[in-house]
Amino acid sequence: MSAQDTIEPTRRDFLYIATGMAGAVGAAAVAWPFIDQMRPDASTLALSTVEVDVSSLQPGQSLTVKWRGKPVFIRNRTPEEIDAAKNVSLDELKDPLARNANLSSDAQATDVDRSAGAGKENWLIMVGVCTHLGCIPLGQQGEYGGWFCPCHGSQYDTAGRIRKGPAPENMAVPVFAFTSDTKIRIG
């Protein structure tokens, strides 16, 4: 047989290729339901973001919403609460980091970096879970007028920063954005 000779495909070659293709299609058809069931459920995707209307919140009022199974505190702070938080020296803080998912991880725990930002300093949005053991702190209580966790005595100030007690970190600020002057999208 020389290099110029061509081999004609036989009926057997066709049957091998056709059987192999049918097997591959069958394997894909069997595997697809298993692969498809790994996608997140529609209800899970719906919980990944929450839009909240805060138009009814007056200064000094709070609202708690559920996001990803956790409470999120939204507070329209009074000018006195903002001043109290601004007048705290960073040296006095137990945790000097902002813990704000909207900023870099090394952002300082200043009042403006813990709040919704310049021009919206009155808004404080944070995950309402004590960073000690995951309890839910009570609002506008404790020595600092912020949040108090009665389980182990952790006290947070009006910017959600840990000031006293066993909690090691400030309460976390989730990813959020104002979609309008009165609506906040969390997540």
Cβ proximity of 76 and 121 under 8 Å: no
Percentage of the chain with pLDDT > 90? 44
Rounded average pLDDT over 26-35: 87
Return mean pLDDT, the chain.
88
Structural domain boundaries in the chain: 46-186
Catalytic site positions: 152
Tokens 């069997």 belong to: 30
3-state helix, strand, coil in the chain (%, to 5): 25, 25, 50
Residue 2: per-residue pLDDT:
61
Cβ proximity of 90 and 108 under 8 Å: yes
From the candidate CATH numbers 2.102.10.10, 3.40.50.720, 3.30.390.50, 3.40.50.300, the one assigned to the domain spanning 46-186: 2.102.10.10
CA nearest to 59, candidates 121, 109, 126:
121
Cβ proximity of 57 and 76 under 8 Å: yes
Is pTM beyond 0.75 here? Answer: no
3-state secondary structure of 187: coil
pLDDT bucket at 63, cuts 50 / 70 / 90: very high
Q: 100-150: per-residue pLDDT in tens?
A: 988 999 999 898 998 888 888 999 999 999 988 888 999 888 899 899 998
Residue 1 pLDDT > 80: no
* Six-digit token string for 147: 């949040």
Rounded average pLDDT over 25-29: 90
Strands, sheet with 61-67, edge to edge from the N-terminal-most edge strand:
61-67, 70-76, 123-127
Q: 153-162: per-residue pLDDT in tens?
A: 899 999 999 9
